[in-house]
Amino acid sequence: MIKVLMVCHGNICRSAAAEVVFNALARQAGLEGRLFAASAAATREEIGNDIYPPMKRALERRGYDCPRHAARQTVRADYEKYDCIVGMDDENMRDMRRIYGGDPAGKLSYLMAWAGQPGRNVEDPWYTGNFEGVLSQIEAGCRSMLEKLRDARPGGLDAGRA
């Protein structure tokens, strides 16, 4: 099984939504036992909190099931546990490199790089209020990622160059 970790600032908007979307798309494609996503925060600010209500509403409007979520911070051990670790923006990437002690195995990538948009950050809807637009970005990134990972094997990923 290929395990993906989605990471954003607080794990209540972007990364939590990416976890929900990626896992739903994997189920729809019949890849539930081959691809799995979890999510975490780069910071400690929202630990234990559920998906932010406006993001949860945006997900539900698009038909996603949102089980209870408890935000958590990523830890150094996650680097070994996951095959691919996906950040939403430059700040997340800096935080992840600090937490993980770099990226020696090339596991870190940006979500939008998977969608052919390297250098494009997924904006933080906590500040912009653009939950629907952010969800569209997340869906595009997750769809592309799913397509690229569907036939991959753990350990054989080149996530950093996605």
* Residue 162 covered by a domain: no
pLDDT in tens, 63-90: 999 999 999 999 999 999 999 999 999 9
Confirm whether 14 is a catalytic residue.
Answer: yes
Confirm whether 124 is a catalytic residue.
Answer: yes
At 151, the pLDDT band (50, 70, 90 cuts) reads: confident
pLDDT in tens, 22-68: 999 999 999 999 999 999 999 999 999 999 999 999 999 999 999 99
Domain of residue 69 covers 2-154
Of the residues 13, 14, 84, 89, which is catalytic? 14
* Residue 16 covered by a domain: yes
At 144, the pLDDT band (50, 70, 90 cuts) reads: very high
* Residue 159 covered by a domain: no
**Please, which residues bridge with residue 40 across strands?**
7
Of the residues 8, 13, 84, 142, which is catalytic? 8
- What contacts 27, CB < 8 A, 6 or more positions away? none
- Number of folded domains that form the chain: 1
* Residue 64 covered by a domain: yes
CATH number at residue 26: 3.40.50.2300
Specify the pLDDT at position 13: 97
pLDDT in tens, 91-142: 999 999 999 999 999 999 999 999 999 989 999 999 999 999 999 999 999 9
Specify the pLDDT at position 119: 85
Please tell me the distance from the alpha carbon of residue 75 to that of residue 92, in angstroms, as a whole number.
13
Asked if residue 114 lies in contact with residue 122, where contact means CB atoms within 8 angstroms, the answer is no
Of the residues 78, 83, 89, 124, which is catalytic? 124
Exposure on the CB side of residue 161, measured as CA atoms within 13 A: 4
Stretch (H or E) spanning 78: helix 78-81
* Residue 68 covered by a domain: yes
Single-letter amino acid code for the residue at 110: Y
At 162, the pLDDT band (50, 70, 90 cuts) reads: very low
* Residue 33 covered by a domain: yes
Tokens of 79: 């680097």
* Residue 118 covered by a domain: yes
* Residue 78 covered by a domain: yes
